[in-house]
Amino acid sequence: MGSLWMLVASLLFACMGACVKLGATRFNAAELVFWRGFVSLLLIGAWIAWQRRPVMTPMWRTHLARSVSGFVALVLYFLAIVTLPLAAAVTLNYTSPLWLAALVAILAHEPMRRGMWGALAIGLAGVAMVLKPSIDPALWYGAVFGLCSGALSSVAYLNVRKLGEAGEPEWRTVFWFSAVCAAGGLPFALFKPHAGAWTLTDAAILLGVGGFGALAQLAMTRAYRYGKTLVAASLSYTTVVFAAMFGAAIWGERLDPLALVGIVAVVLSGALAGRLSRKPAPPAETD
């Protein structure tokens, strides 16, 4: 079930990314992050009030670590989406399984398997192939945003896993993440220069950013709760496929054949990382 929930989350995250790119002509990235959190907070908050569920938790430190790292990663991700073709931005953000593999090895104080190093090498080669044909040299800062968002997302995912293992419900994780996003983006929304009245299209886009994001977050949180961390993370790469489809259909984005090969390489590296994570670690050598 964890795999199925991650596939659902991937589609919804791609829908959110498409809404972010559509809204970039009217709203800046930080403002979009506010609406991502605010709309989600309204939806999940209404459900919590209706169900009379408690939002306070003794695991507030883990929630805070997950929410703050996720918030910063989201800001960087939205900046990458605004700057780059949608599929390229998503690919860079979804290097998180590669960062996660390294982070898990470091925290467990264990050397990475030889095969995992191979997965990382394939993933990095894929990233290079995606970037070379996809963006102008003047836009490389967008690539930095995307890669940094992937690194910070791995920190958020580890904390999501901890919360799931501790029995924290998905809705509470989403609630606090949405609250931090709304609070962090509020100054940018309040002090933005007036840009005229909203249209129905603007409202629909903002609802899409928040609504798709909230549903995707719930699905992702459940995937990490019921599935293996690296397996769920590797399946998140399917967002790249959905994003490429949206980019082609809406903006006419066409990736160079080398970039397509790069996307396949990144997906394969994530799948390999997931496969290796299911195997028991080899016994450590002794002197």
> Can you give the pLDDT at residue 281?
39
User: What local confidence, expressed as pLDDT, does residue 224 receive?
Assistant: 72
Residue 285 has a pLDDT of: 37
Residue 127: what pLDDT?
77
Rg (CA), the chain: 19
The verdict on residue 95 lying in a domain is yes
For 37, 77, 201, 240, the CA distances from 33, given in Å and listed in that order, are 6, 10, 18, 20
Q: Where is pLDDT greater, at 165 or 65?
A: 65
Residue 102 covered by a domain: yes
**Are the CB atoms for 79 and 165 separated by under 8 Å?**
no
What is the Cα–Cα distance from 122 to 120, expressed in whole angstroms? Answer: 5
Q: Tell me what the mean pLDDT of segment 272-279 comes to.
A: 61
Report helix, strand or coil for 269: helix
User: pTM for this one?
Assistant: 0.82
Token pair recorded at residue 7: 């596939």
Q: Give residue-wise pLDDT tens across range 219-257.
A: 877 787 776 666 676 677 778 888 888 988 898 887 778
| Residue 115 included in any domain | yes
Q: How many folded domains does the chain comprise?
A: 1
- Between 62 and 233, name the one with better pLDDT: 62
65 falls within a domain: yes
pLDDT reading at 282 higher than 50: no
Whole-number average pLDDT of the chain: 81
Contact 228, 7 (CB under 8 A): no
Helix/strand/coil percent split, the chain, to 5: 80, 0, 20
CB of 64 closer than 8 Å to CB of 239: no
Q: How high is the pLDDT of residue 140? A: 79
DSSP 140-173: HHHHHHHHHHHHHHHHHHHHHHHHHHTT--HHHH
Cα–Cα distance between 34 and 71 in angstroms, integer?
A: 10
Residue 263 belongs to a domain: yes
Q: Tens digits of per-residue pLDDT, 4-39?
A: 888 889 899 999 999 999 998 888 888 899 999 999
pLDDT tens per residue, range 140-163: 788 889 889 988 888 887 888 888
192 domain residue, yes or no: yes
d(CA 48, CA 132): 46
Is the pLDDT higher at 275 or at 21? 21
Residue 145 lies in a domain: yes
- pLDDT number for residue 99: 76
pLDDT value at 171 more than 90: no
Pair of tokens at residue 99? 């960062």
Segments forming the whole domain that contains residue 117: 2-277
Q: What is the rounded distance in angstroms from the CA atom of residue 215 to the CA atom of residue 221?
A: 10
Q: Most distant CA pair in the chain: distance in Å?
A: 72
Q: In which band, very low, low, confident or very high, does the pLDDT at 138 lie, cut at 50, 70 and 90?
A: low
CB atoms within 10 A of CB 26: 16
Q: How many Cα atoms are found within 13 Å in the side-chain-facing hemisphere of 193?
A: 0
Cα dihedral across residues 146, 40, 227, 20: positive or negative: negative
Classify residue 6: in a domain, yes or no.
Answer: yes
Residue 62 pLDDT grade (very low, low, confident, very high; cuts 50, 70, 90): very high
pLDDT at residue 219 in the model: 85
